[in-house]
Amino acid sequence: MVDILVADDDAEIVDLLRLDLELMGFSIDFVSDGLAASKKAESKRYDLVILDVMMPKMDGFEVCKKLRASRLSANTPIILLTAKGTIEDKIRGFNAGADDYLVKPFEFQELMVRMRALFRRTGTLNVQHAQRKNELLAAGEIQLLPTSLECRIKGRTVKLTPTEFEILYCLMQHVGEAVALGTILQEVWGYEADEDVRMLRVHIGGLRQKIEGDHKNPKYLQTVTNVGYRLNVTPDSIEQEVAGAGSIPS
């Protein structure tokens, strides 16, 4: 059974999620403050954590950071719920380690789309890794480590969030090619939405900070103007050929 932790102090949201998620057959634990959410996640391994941003005792951003720092929940998918939908809030959430971001009020079906996308990527991770044995997990200077959601590059190992791992994996399957934004959204999230292009760019920015020597002048994750992104796995031997690489926000 899929185990989900929901942390929200909004009784109306909790009642909605309790009814709908339990009807879907999920096992749900509910808490109403951030401190309780952090403690709960330290005592049990969950398949998904849904966090409200504005909670008593500890906000969702801080809880998210604590979950990512914990060995038990480091790879657990996290969805943040918030009444704010500004790009600044999304950047803060993704930098804290969130995988997705949903703005209140929302329809339950929208939440289910996000959940299914995360379960497809991480809820059946062992099956997916078995299927990946004939697909690229290493190219040039970059190696992906699926079991630990890490990337090894030039002898350096960096920890990735589940979403960052899937984006890098997607680009590695098209190594050296320009991959359209819509293609990445479809392969990673399982759906296309114009509004989520900015979300993708935020995740790309986070990846660049982790794997690039200079994230403002990326050599591995290149922007392809009016298309999307390209993974260059041997930046020291391949010239930068991307015109106007700074024209698409990262």
Rounded CA-CA distance 134/248 in Å is 33
Which residues in the chain are classed under CATH 3.40.50.2300? 3-123
pLDDT band at 242 (very low <50, low <70, confident <90, very high): very low
Rounded CA-CA distance 230/206 in Å is 16
* pLDDT tens column, 178-196: 999 888 888 887 766 665 6
Among 23-32, 81-90, 117-126, 174-183, which stretch is predicted with the lowest mean pLDDT? 117-126
Q: Label residues 158-172 b or e (16+ Cβ within 10 Å = b).
A: ebbbbbbbbbbbbbb
Side by side, the strands of the sheet bearing 3-7 are 27-31, 3-7, 48-52, 78-82, 100-103
Assigned CATH for 134-231: 1.10.10.10
Q: Select the more confidently predicted residue: 123 or 105.
A: 105
pLDDT at 127: 40
Question: Mean pLDDT: which of 64-68, 84-88, 97-101 is highest?
Answer: 64-68
pTM above 0.75, yes or no: no
* pLDDT tens column, 7-47: 999 988 888 888 888 888 889 999 999 999 999 999 999 99
What is the three-class DSSP state of 93? helix
Q: Which CATH superfamily is domain 3-123 in?
A: Response regulator (3.40.50.2300)
